[in-house]
Structure 1
């Protein structure tokens, strides 16, 4: 069986930085196996963080300019990573950075031009995994559930706590997945107001108290009433959540404490709605899995029959980069890598655009 050596690249809504993972994939008895050979995270400078965050407000001309510059930057970082670790590489699979996500308007946009990335790195690139699904009437999100199904099938629920919380699970033979709601995006927004990138281990949040008014406003957000498939982006956060945070006059610790309780209540509700009576496993990855207070709070709110599994740090931090590398493999094999039951599209698809280096 052919073994694929792929660099997966991911930049998430929490704007922490770029994650890269060198992954090997092969099939054993009709089951996909993987190994992560090397990883690297590159934090964004404050200037770059602001540039990506504010890309939503750029003119079309400036947005495309940033798309190309950021693509070249991604390619240069991939090349350095490959040289630094002497990595055998067939191609690069890049998610890019989502600047616009408006599925109700049929549009999504991931910064990081595939052609610029390919030219700067010297390797073929597969990227733009979302557009095809939108063209098929889907949300273009979430995409990670194909990896949950094929690489992490031993878990009943796969929960990712990035900027946004999303969940995936099997129901009656179909994979179901959707964005539950908030996660690190609100926590990081609050800490950045006092000059901190994040609240390490949730220490500040733990020392706070619930602000009942803020909690009620967050819990009452209309998004939580919508049926799945559904997904949210930074636009929703700016329009619906930021005004609630800004209108709450309270200390940082209380804002964080309230936000953590909100995040965990909404996750626990969704797990409870979809869990059976027997013991089940909830697999948690993403930066939020490293927030000790958040995980403690979630365990308190979950049913006793749900076992929380937090894996080793490499999987926590690089699972999304791993899955985008895997999506590139499935695209190469012309196998399904985006599921209609997850996105609401008219059919499953093998998505991703291939760019060759010149």
Structure 2
């Protein structure tokens, strides 16, 4: 396989913004490799962030209109990025933005129309990576583990801390992965009550103390008892988590401090359950990896038996966009990019729909 030049697009549940990663990807005799050439993160305006956050409540007609207009917006950002850096792009791999995720009911939906994106950018687009897996009985999530296996397989565990935390690992030649639970989504919900986008480096959380009742309530959420494969979406957060946070009368610093302990409790519990040797490495990416207090708390709970490894800031921030570029490259080759061992689907599959600019 020749080197393919792919622009990966990612918008996550933490609603930080749109991540763009221009990558060169190629197959080697032993696996796959990449070169992350150019990156850009475009913060969402307050209006767009609120619209994305509340898209789950839109009537069908308005949701489909937003699906198309957001696809056009993605195409505009892509074209400006390509033109600004004079990039040669074979195709765009776009995750879109998840508005609805209920695999137990047989559906998942990522807005950002591939046809509108392709038309606006003038570039071939591969997107909608989750639907086929759900149609095969899978969770349609998490999808990043294919990148963990092909790009970062030297680590015992790969942890992503976006809006949601998820983990992946190899066992007896198969990749397993699932959503652990909360991450930035709950932290940002708390800070945004005071019009603060996020708690930089966990500085506010560091000054707080644990609200024991809230911690125990969060730690006993039913989702944590379920076997994997399993995944969650914004619906679960709205229904199960927000009521707990909003009913807790305490300072912002204590709420944040408590939630970081909750996040790290759940991660350390899963690592302890899944590890099969004494000394392990945990490769951490996603916005949560930039939260210094969260990382320190996580390392303390894991003890010296599991070493937390943080890559460069660029890889921390753009790993997911890189992986969706890889998923597009695999789809182009009709190679499997969704793993049944991860999602619980009937079989491995090559997910993604291809759109050509009109």
Whether TM-score is above 0.5 comes out as: yes
d(CA) in 2 for partners of 1:331 and 1:182? 30
Q: Distance in 2 between matches of 1:136 and 1:125?
A: 23
Partner of 1:87: 87
Find the counterpart in structure 2 of residue 354 from structure 1.
354
Contact preservation (8 Å) 1:92, 1:126: yes
1:332 counterpart residue number: 332
- Equivalent in the alignment of 2:319: 319
2: CA distance, partners of 1:28 / 1:19: 27
- Whole-Å separation in 2 of the counterparts to 1:47 and 1:165: 26
**What's the CA shift string for 1:300-333, capped at 9, x where partnerless?**
0003221110000111000000000000000001
The alpha-carbon deviation at position 184 of structure 1 amounts to: 0.2
1:259-274 → structure 2 map (5 Å cutoff) = 259-274=259-274
Q: Distance in 2 between matches of 1:276 and 1:2?
A: 37
Distance 1:88 1:178 in 2: 35
Please give the residue correspondences for 1:5-154 in structure 2 after superposition, counting only pairs within 5 Å.
5-154=5-154
Question: By how many angstroms is 1:27 displaced?
Answer: 1.6
* Alignment RMSD (CA, Å): 0.6
CA contact (8 A) 1:124 1:357 kept: yes
Query: Could you say what secondary structure the match of 1:302 adopts?
Result: helix
Match of 2:241 in 1: 241
Match of 2:322, SS state, is helix
Quick one: distance in 2 between partners of 1:210 and 1:86?
Answer: 50
CA distance in 1, matches of 2:308, 2:19: 25
Please give the alpha-carbon distance, in whole angstroms, between the structure 2 residues aligned to 1:149 and 1:3. Answer: 19
Contact persistence 1:145–1:168 (CA under 8 A):
yes
Structure 1 partner of 2:230? 230
Query: Does structure 2 retain, via aligned residues, the 8 Å contact 1:277–1:305?
Result: no
Q: TM-score, normalised by structure 2?
A: 0.99
Aligned to 1:175: 175
Moved over 3 A (4+): none
Counterparts in 2 of 1:156-195, with a 5 A limit?
156-195=156-195
| C-alpha contact 1:272 1:303 (8 A) present in aligned 2 | no
What is the number of residues matched between the two proteins?
A: 358
Residue ranges of structure 2 left out of the alignment (5+ in a row)? none
Q: Any idea what the Cα deviations from partners look like across 1:158-189, whole Å, max 9, x if unmatched?
A: 00000000000001221110000000000000
Distance in 2 (alpha carbons) for counterparts of 1:21 and 1:166: 21
Which sections of structure 1, spanning at least 5 residues, go unmatched?
A: none
The offset of 1:277, in angstroms, is 3.1
Rounded Cα–Cα distance in structure 2 between residues aligned with 1:326 and 1:160: 17
Give the match's secondary structure for 1:282: strand
Show the counterpart of 2:310. 310
